[in-house]
C-alpha cells in the first residue's frame, strides 16, 4: 500500500516538478511570483493537441498508448510555448520591469495575464475535454506496485530533461549567466551579463518545461482549459518547498508534493488531499523558511 502510494506520488510529482522549475526560476531570477505560469502548462498541452490533430498521436508503440508523433508534437509545443512565454514577457512583464514596478504590481499583472491566457484557450478550443489518444492501457505489476507504462515513460523523460537542464546550467555560458542573475541581478549586470538575454532564455526554458508538463498531464488522461490552473498551487508549494531558484530544489519539491498528496490518503479522508502540500509547505516555512535547497539569508 505505502509502496503504491509512493510510486503514484512520484509519477504525479514528476509533472509538478517540471512546472515548478519555471516558477522557481521566475521567483529567483525575475523576483516575482508568476501566477500565469500555470497557463503555460495549459498552452503547451493544447499546442501539442494542434500537432496531434494533424499527425495523430501515432500508432501505439510497444506498451505505450502513443507513437513518435506525440513526442514530436510535444517538442513543437515546447518550442512554441517557450516563445509564447517570452512573448507574454515582452507584452506585459518587461514593460512593468522597465518602469520599475513594485513586485506586487507584477503579481497582479500575472493574474491578469493568466485570465487572458486561459480564456484564449477556451475561445479557441472550447470547454469540452479533449484527448490525445483514446487508448487505455492496463497497469504493469512491478513488485506489487501497479505502474502504467506511459507514466514510467514520462518519468524517464522527465529525468532526462532535468539532467540536460542541469548540465546546461552548470556548464554553458548562458546557464552560468542565469545562475549569476539568480544570485544578484545588480552584480550580474555589473559583470557585463546581458540581463535581458538571460531573462529571455529563462522564459523560453520555463515555457518549454511547462509545455512538457502540460502534455504529460494531458496524456493521463484528458485536456481541459483548467488543466494548468488546477496545478497552480501545487507548483508554488513545490517551488517554495525546494527553495526558489534551485533546480534540484524544484524537482525534489515537486516529488515531495506528489508524494505528500498520495501517501496522506492512506491516513486521512481523501477529501483533504488538496490540503496536504500546504501543510508540508507550512511546516517548511516554519522550520526552514528558505526552502530545502535555498541559501540562508537570501531573502
By CB under 8 A, name the binding residues for other proteins. 1, 4-5, 8, 11-12, 15, 122, 127-129, 131, 134-139, 146, 148, 217, 220-222, 224, 226-227, 230-231, 261-262, 265-266, 269-271, 273-274
Tally Cβ neighbours within 10 Å of residue 276.
21
Q: Give which of 131, 110, 151 is closest to 235, Cα–Cα.
A: 110
Q: How many CA atoms lie within 13 A of 140 on its CB side?
A: 12
Q: Which residues contact 248 (CB under 8 A, 6 or more apart)?
A: 166, 242, 293
Is 17 or 96 the residue whose CB approaches other proteins more closely?
17
Rounded CA-CA distance 8/136 in Å is 18
Q: Residue 136 Cβ, how far from other proteins at the closest point, in Å?
A: 5
Q: Residue 88 Cβ, how far from other proteins at the closest point, in Å?
A: 23
Is 195 or 230 the residue whose CB approaches other proteins more closely?
230
Q: Which helix (H) or strand (E) holds 141?
A: strand 140-142
Is 190 or 269 the residue whose CB approaches other proteins more closely?
269
Is 191 or 268 the residue whose CB approaches other proteins more closely?
268
Rounded CA-CA distance 36/219 in Å is 22
Q: Give which of 3, 21, 268, 11 is closest to 161, Cα–Cα.
A: 21
Q: Residue 188 Cβ, how far from other proteins at the closest point, in Å?
A: 36
Rounded CA-CA distance 83/91 in Å is 12
Is 4 or 189 the residue whose CB approaches other proteins more closely?
4
Q: Residue 230 Cβ, how far from other proteins at the closest point, in Å?
A: 5
Q: Residue 131 Cβ, how far from other proteins at the closest point, in Å?
A: 7
Amino acid at each position: 500500500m505505502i509502496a503504491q502510494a509512493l510510486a503514484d506520488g512520484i509519477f504525479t510529482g514528476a509533472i509538478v516538478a517540471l512546472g515548478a522549475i519555471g516558477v522557481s526560476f521566475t521567483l529567483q531570477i525575475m523576483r516575482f511570483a508568476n501566477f500565469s505560469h500555470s497557463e503555460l502548462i495549459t498552452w503547451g498541452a493544447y499546442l501539442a493537441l494542434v500537432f496531434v490533430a494533424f499527425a495523430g498521436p501515432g500508432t501505439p508503440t510497444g506498451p505505450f498508448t502513443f507513437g513518435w508523433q506525440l513526442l514530436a508534437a510535444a517538442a513543437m509545443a515546447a518550442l512554441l510555448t517557450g516563445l509564447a512565454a517570452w512573448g507574454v514577457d515582452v507584452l506585459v512583464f518587461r514593460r512593468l520591469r522597465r518602469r520599475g514596478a513594485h513586485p506586487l504590481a507584477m503579481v497582479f499583472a500575472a493574474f491578469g495575464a493568466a485570465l487572458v491566457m486561459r480564456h484564449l484557450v477556451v475561445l479557441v478550443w472550447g470547454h469540452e475535454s479533449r484527448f490525445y489518444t483514446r487508448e487505455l492501457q492496463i497497469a504493469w505489476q512491478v513488485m506489487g506496485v501497479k505502474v502504467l507504462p506511459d507514466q514510467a515513460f514520462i518519468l524517464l523523460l522527465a529525468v532526462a530533461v532535468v539532467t540536460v537542464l542541469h548540465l546546461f546550467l552548470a556548464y554553458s555560458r548562458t546557464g552560468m549567466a542565469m545562475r549569476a542573475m539568480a544570485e544578484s541581478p545588480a552584480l550580474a549586470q555589473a559583470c557585463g551579463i546581458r540581463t535581458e538575454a538571460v531573462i529571455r532564455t529563462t522564459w523560453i526554458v520555463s515555457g518549454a518545461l511547462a509545455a512538457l508538463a502540460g502534455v504529460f498531464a494531458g496524456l493521463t488522461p484528458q485536456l481541459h482549459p483548467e488543466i494548468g490552473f488546477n496545478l497552480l498551487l501545487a507548483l508554488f508549494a513545490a517551488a517554495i518547498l525546494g527553495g526558489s531558484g534551485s533546480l534540484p530544489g524544484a524537482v525534489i519539491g515537486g516529488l515531495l508534493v506528489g508524494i505528500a498528496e498520495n501517501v496522506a490518503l492512506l491516513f486521512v479522508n481523501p477529501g483533504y488531499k488538496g490540503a496536504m502540500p500546504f501543510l508540508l509547505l507550512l511546516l517548511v516555512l516554519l522550520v526552514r523558511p528558505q526552502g530545502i535547497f535555498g541559501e540562508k539569508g537570501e531573502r
